[in-house]
Structure 1
Amino acid sequence: MSLRIFEQRYTRMVKEACGSESGFVICMLNSQGNKDLNEHIYPIGTYVNVVDFNLLDDGLLGVTVEGVRCVRITNIKTEADGLRIGDCEMTAPWEFTATKELLYPMDKKLEEIFKRYPEVNSLYETTNFDDPIWVINRWLELLPVDAEKKQEFLQENDCSKIVQYLSGLVE
């Protein structure tokens, strides 16, 4: 994912992430949650590493990040500059225990999208249409599924509910 960093708090976040060779977490926001109590931040986020950065034509910092793992976020505090920090615990990755055939035609339709839309294909260094978890995650990224529904899926121990949901949408 490419980001344009323009707020001081996020410049600090990127600087700290690069300086310590660690990353940061990107979260989904809940418009119904209380912002003062940090309840507007959903509990599952994506831990990312900075893979590239550059100065953009408009003078802003451009940062490219790569998702590493889902994390559960707790104890969110707001620092003086507005940057929010919290405790993060890596979540267990989804397990796919069904046969690969269960993903048909999701895998093939996703491959068609990648071929038809080079801008989607360019978002990924490599593709892996044979990996069920990779396919499921790409669909979850591409489809306009609201954040609350995504959070519901991300909190599951396995991906059976998301496979059912996606099967209905893709067919």
Structure 2
Amino acid sequence: MVKEACGGSGRFVLCMLNSRGDQQKNEHIFPIGTLCRIVDFDLLEDGLLGIKVEGEYCVRVSEVTTEPDGLRVGVCDPIEDWNAEVEEGDIEPLRDKLQIIYDKYPEIARLYPELKFSEPLWVIYRWLELLPVDAANKQAFLNEHNCKKVLDYINELVR
């Protein structure tokens, strides 16, 4: 996959796995993934390749097939971001607590080239990454047309 990505655009799609899906039919791959760009790579001490990627945007993956070498390929269509009409009172507590976490655990903050606490969607996506929300629920949230349900859910958990 890395060879294919580096030989082309340097991009690939990363999807969550569905433990209930049939692997032979490629149903073990959830349909919403993230288009990622390889930004750096290095040979690690254990001889494995370490890859640093940056997520660009969400895509819906369909028509997944498996090539003879095991590489899975599919048709990917961009998904528009959620409608981001977020009340300041709904996002402010999440923003403040996320900043506290990043201050306490700078190794998490270093995962991002830029911390965008002023952008509500960025804050919501970071909480979805941090919280122990199973992949099926994350997929349901990502399938929504706006961020209202996920915002309410995260606010309940964080409070």
Contact 2:86-2:120 at 8 Å conserved across structures: no
Q: Compare 15-24 and 34-43 and name the one that shifted more.
A: 15-24
Q: CA deviation at 1:45?
A: 0.4
Aligned length: 159
Q: 1:82 aligns with which of 52, 62, 70?
A: 70
- Picking from 86, 104, 109, the partner of 1:116 is 104
4+ long deviations beyond 6 Å: none
Gaps of 5+ in 2: none
Give the drift of 1:98: 2.7
Mean CA deviation greater in 54-63 or 135-144: 54-63
Q: TM-score, structure 1 length as denominator?
A: 0.90
Rounded to whole Å, the distance in 1 between the matches of 2:3 and 2:24 is 25
Gaps of 5+ in 1: 1-12
In 2: Cα distance, 1:134 partner to 1:31 partner: 28
Aligned counterparts, 1:145-156, within 5 A: 145-156=133-144
Identity of aligned residues (%): 52
CA distance in 1, matches of 2:91, 2:154: 9
Moved more, 137-146 or 17-26: 17-26
For residues 135-165 of structure 1, give each alpha carbon's deviation from its aligned partner in whole angstroms, at most 9, with x where no partner exists.
0000000011000000000011111110000
**TM-score after normalising by structure 2:** 0.97
